[in-house]
Amino acid sequence: MRNPWAQTGNYRTSYVQDTTIFANYREIVSVVLLLLALCILPMFLERSQVLVLNFILIYAIAVLGLNITTGYAGLISVGQAAFMGVGAYTVALSAPNLPFWLTIPLGGLTAAILGFMVGIPSLRVKHLYLALATLAFQEIFVWVVGRSPALAQGAAIPVEMRNFLGLEIGFRNHNYFWYYVILFVLVLMVIAWRNLLRGKYGRALIAVRDNDRAADAMGMDPGRTKLFAFALGAFYGGIAGGLLAYMQRAVVVEEFTLTRSVALLAMAIVGGLGTVVGSLLGPAFIEFLRLYMERLSEWMKANPFVQSITPAGVDVASALLPLSFGLVIVLFLVFEPRGLYNWWRLLRSYFRTWPFKY
Amino acid sequence: MKRAIVLGMMAMLGLVMAQGRTVNLLWSGAVTGPTSDVGGPYGAGIEDYCKYANEQKLIPNVTLNCTVRDDQYQNPNTQRIFEEALDRAKPAMYLGYSTGAMLQLKPLINEVKMPTIPASAHIGLIDPPNNQYMFLPVSSYSEQVVALMEYINRINKNAKIALVVNPSPFGRAVVDHARRAAQRLGQSIVDVREVGGGNLDNTALLRALDAAGVQYIIHQNVAGPVANILKDAKRLGLDKKIKQMGAVYTGGADLIRLAGDAAEGFLWASSYYTLDENAPGINLQKQLAAKYNRSADILNSTNYTAGMLAAAIAVETMKRAAQRFSGRIDNETVYQALIGMNGPNAFKPGFAVSTKAGIEIDFTRTEQTGAEGLRVLEAKGGKFVPVTDPFTSALFRQVRNP
């Protein structure tokens, strides 16, 4: 038998091996090390830097869901932010009476039910037409919230949690506390994601995406599979929204508009559709891009030399962020449609086969 | 020897004190993104007033470090910028911006006890809970709209009114108060429409309101959408039939620039002086815009005035905090100075009109609105001229908490 620590490829000889969550021991060790690193990371960061991490992890959960609907099942959805909103508002309404470990799954479930309903058009329409159906849901969500006095017409509904098992949660530890909660939820969601997609449901999603008629001929139920994909993707979105509500201490509808849905789709594309690693890399890349462009734009505005060589210096600096955001998406679509995941795959492959080229 | 050491230390301390120290003031708002037509000039006003405060040494022995940051109208950015500031250079005061972000940050602002002056005048910001540290520089949007309704009532009893508001918490803020005020005044709110940016053709909206017999449209929006509606009303010949008016962010030079002669006759509720008036704040605004090479669009913008007023309140409060608390300027002393800014200690920078009692800006622990006086102005010959004396809306106080 080969030494499992020294293997340079996946040598699967049985179906059971083919469906394992981790391909080899090295993968287990690297995941454990990554988790350990993520656990100690906040000790070296300021509160506001942890806040940035929290946003990235929350978006990663939402993008994981989008990767089920769009990445795996091939159903274009531009309504993921609305599903996040459903989760967030469910949390906001139930938080005064229920603990957070119940309100967040409840938010996910409510979003899943709505996701199921939104998925119904997918039984009859595909591609751009389906995208329009999800767009309609996104707009209807914002419209309904804006006109519901029970939801403060889109203004803030406070979501505060001051205490957990005797631990007082306040300004000093709020971001740290939620960082660990979000990380824990993310790990659970990733495991569930991997677990689901290695089984028959996952294969059904891929089969329906690639050719729903062929999948139907092979005994799968494309309709049910599509509804399942929508409901599950929405569940992830709802969980992400619930966490966001607690993390931001209040729910405001402006967080769950079409712009956010498009940003989530961009994160999924940049990260690499249909991959766990891509779901983590995409949000991180977009958020850091935003941060660095913000810094660059501030530097440009403060720099007299830059201002002197650009007559409308302030406008050039201000345009940097939207410009870079659009440019990144276009460049990825043209030159690396498989996203950052593919770079990660190549990098990993390089080290695995080192010193050999292949 | 001991005496020499003590004297030396005191001399050192005196030297350090004389050199002064730095106090931080933070503003984050939409320099880019939605509503940046308001945020850009507002931020410029804060920036310029801060430079002026440092040059004039308005706070003795203190250098004001004004941080002006672009949050792109994104609430997560606002939260990050605010928390970053709390981590790195705790500001003594926070000048905020958008309604949504400010409403969302209310619990945190209250927890960290940070006196905050937002650009948004949403009444929910100073309503409980978590409202202790929020202060509106001028009267709320709701009060402005109710004041316009009172003005309508003076010239036309039982008027039929439509509200056209921005599709956001900012726009919707006024609807409930307007409904209650209409009930008391015997007016009827015929319709409430939500109109955002990109409203390039408003024919259907205006025809529907005309068919419903609407005599007055009250806008709660930014200038862009209002300008488009005004132009369409003129094109359809409805400009004489339906009188249009709006709250503070609808009007000013921005509206006249965007709507041209279609703005003629538009009524505007505002607490600020206009650029044509001879007020100390406005004169300073002209002087600073020239000094810091601001464009004519920025100089003419009421939002530039609004930014300066917010910064002026912050600087004055810091100055008073230093005087009252032996040079200590932090969020706690600034809060105390702010709630003490009333009666004989009211502030009069000359950016906003005064009430009948002669008070321009005052705050107390429970009265968290600065400039309570406002006027109705009308667009005539390409500029806004006042058509009322400064007043406060008595009716608004009745409908605020019925």
* Chain A residue at shortest CA distance from B81: A48
DSSP A42: G
Q: Token digits for A140?
A: 């209807």
CATH architecture of the domain B141-270+375-400 equals: 3-Layer(aba) Sandwich (3.40)
Return the residue of B nearest to A144 by Cα.
Answer: B167
Measured distance CA(B312)–CA(B329) in Å, rounded:
16
Q: Name the one residue in this structure whose structure tokens are 């956001």.
A: B168
| Among B310, B311, B148, B164, residue whose Cα is nearest residue B229 | B164
Q: Where are the domains positioned within chain A?
A: 21-353
Q: Which residues of chain A, if any, have pLDDT below 70? A: 1-11, 310-318, 357-358
Task: Determine which of B66, B83, B99 to mutate to test the interface with A (most A C-beta atoms within 10 Å).
Answer: B83
Cα–Cα distance, B91 to B104 (Å, whole number): 19
**Which chain A residues contact residue B106 at CB under 8 A?**
156, 158, 250
What CATH number labels A21-353? 1.10.3470
**DSSP letter at B345?**
G
Q: Do domains B19-138+277-371 and B141-270+375-400 have the same CATH topology?
A: yes
Closest-CA residue of A relative to B129 is A158
Q: Is B219 in a helix, a strand, or coil?
A: strand
Interface of A with B in 251-310 (CB under 8 A): 252-255, 290, 294, 297-298
Judge whether B113 is closer than 8 Å to chain A, CB to CB: no
The CA angle A29-A33-A36, to the nearest 5 degrees, is 140
CB pairs under 8 A between A and B: 96
Torsion of CA B31, B32, B33, B38, to 10 degrees: 40
Domain ranges in chain B are 19-138+277-371, 141-270+375-400
pLDDT tens digit at each of 402 positions of chain B: 566 665 555 555 444 444 568 999 999 999 887 888 889 999 999 999 999 999 999 999 999 999 999 888 889 999 999 999 999 988 999 999 999 999 999 999 999 999 999 999 999 999 999 999 999 999 999 999 999 999 999 999 999 999 999 998 899 989 999 999 999 999 999 999 999 988 999 999 999 999 999 999 999 999 999 999 999 999 999 999 999 999 999 999 999 999 999 999 999 999 999 999 999 999 999 999 999 999 998 999 999 999 999 999 999 999 999 999 999 999 999 999 999 999 999 999 999 999 888 899 999 999 999 999 999 999 999 999 999 999 999 899 999 877
- Chain B 152-211, residues with CB within 8 Å of chain A CB atoms: 167-169, 172-173, 194
Give the phi and the psi of residue A158 in degrees, each rounded to 5. Answer: -65, 140
For residues B149, B153, B157 and B158, what is the CA-based torsion angle, rounded to 10 degrees?
10
ipTM of the complex: 0.86
Question: Does the beta carbon of A318 lie under 8 angstroms from any beta carbon of chain B?
Answer: yes
| Cβ(A333)–Cβ(A272) below 8 Å | no
Q: How far apart are CA B187 and CA A112, in angstroms?
A: 45
What angle do helix axes A222-248 and A100-119 make, rounded to 10 degrees?
A: 140
- Cβ pair A254:B169 closer than 8 A: yes
Looking at domain B19-138+277-371, its CATH architecture is 3-Layer(aba) Sandwich (3.40)
Residue type at position B2? K
Q: Is some CB atom of chain B closer than 8 A to the CB atom of A173?
A: no
Closest-CA residue of A relative to B31 is A318
Cβ separation A48–B168 shorter than 8 A: no
Contact status of B110 with chain A (Cβ, < 8 Å): no
